[in-house]
Amino acid sequence: MVRFMIRRLLAAIPVLWIIVTATFFLMRLAPGGPFDKERRVSPEVEANLRTKYCLDCPLWQQYLTYLGPLNLNPGQGGVKAFGGDGSRPWSGILTGDFGPSFKYANRSVGSIIAEGFPVSIHLGGMALLFAIIMGMVPGLVAALRQNTAWDYGSMSAAMLGVSIPNFVLGPLLVLVFSLTLYWLPPARWDGPRYWILPTITLGAIYAAYIARLTRGGMLEVVRQDFVRTARAKGLPESLILWRHTLRGGLLPVISFLGPATARLLTGSIVVEKIFLVPGLGRYFIDGAINRDYTLVLGVVLFYSSMLIMLNLVVDILYGFLDPRVTYD
């Protein structure tokens, strides 16, 4: 298993490099720049800022600036020095430095991630718990009561959940529970009552997928010979469920939870914007709108790293749940 983990971690290095490179050049291809939005600075100030952050350097040099820790100076082929005086604006992501934010003055990307991620992980954790409970329970009931009203009702609700995107579900929940019934606040993140609508909005579609995957996985397992043998021996259904069918029936759910958990814990851009949740997703979309290159690159790299690590955890759990899986 240790060799398998080392191979996966080493394979993640070129993947992250490709992600960073693609994000860097796609952001530069987008029209506009970090100093074009909102309050426009004077040409002199903008020129100084562009020089400070090497935005007037050739594109390849900007790329090396972000990667680091290379250092160039005017004496090497006439290349302009970083910062105008030979100093680097930041040390580069290879040293763990995501750089300063262009939109949020005097703040680094690392500090913004450290501030927004706890809120996102709070929202994502509650949405994940909601999705697991509200997905697995109906899925198990539908599998154990196949072709009954419970089955049809659960899968109809799951299909509805899959069909409604969160940018539609969120305003609908606000319209019904906040503006019509006045039961829950429509936005902000100031206490438990404020957490309910964002949690449901973010977790509903994942609950629907988990319900369908649970039903499909359980139906595949209950038809296996070893389950028929257990029933023929007279074992109670509860023991068959917990000891025989759940372990194999939940494998599709485990596979799905890897990337789903990464997205939930990192935060949903749309949900955080709808409910004014001060999480990482809101910073990401503000950074994209304002062409905050370093912030967008830092969040993308952070999210990608989490996705890779969670997929590795899922693969390891697969080996414990399914003895047929090996790490050779």
Q: What is the pLDDT of residue 324?
A: 66
pLDDT, residue 327, reads: 66
- Picking from 95, 129, 158, the residue at the C-terminal end of a domain is 95
**Does one domain contain both 159 and 297?**
yes
Q: Are residues 267 and 173 in the same domain?
A: yes
Record the pTM: 0.76
Give the span between the Cα atoms of 328 and 116, in whole angstroms: 39
Those residues with Cβ within 8 angstroms of residue 194's Cβ, 6 or more apart along the chain or in another chain = 184, 185, 187, 188, 275
CA dihedral 202, 205, 211, 212 (to 10 degrees): -160
How many distinct structural domains can be found in the chain? 2
Residue 44 structural domain: 2-95
Query: What is residue 184's predicted lDDT score, i.e. its pLDDT?
Result: 92
Residue 177 lies in a domain: yes
Residues 116, 73 share a domain: no
Residue 208's pLDDT is: 92
Query: 133 and 80: one domain?
Result: no
Tell which of 95, 125, 159 closes a domain.
95
Residues 153 and 21 in one domain: no
Task: Identify whether 304 is part of a domain.
Answer: yes
Which stretches of the chain score pLDDT less than 50?
Answer: 72-86
127 and 65 in a single domain? The answer is: no
**178 and 286 together in one domain:** yes
Residues 67-124 have pLDDT tens digits of: 875 554 444 443 444 444 445 566 778 777 788 888 787 788 888 888 888 898 899 8
Is there a single domain that holds both residue 40 and residue 144? no
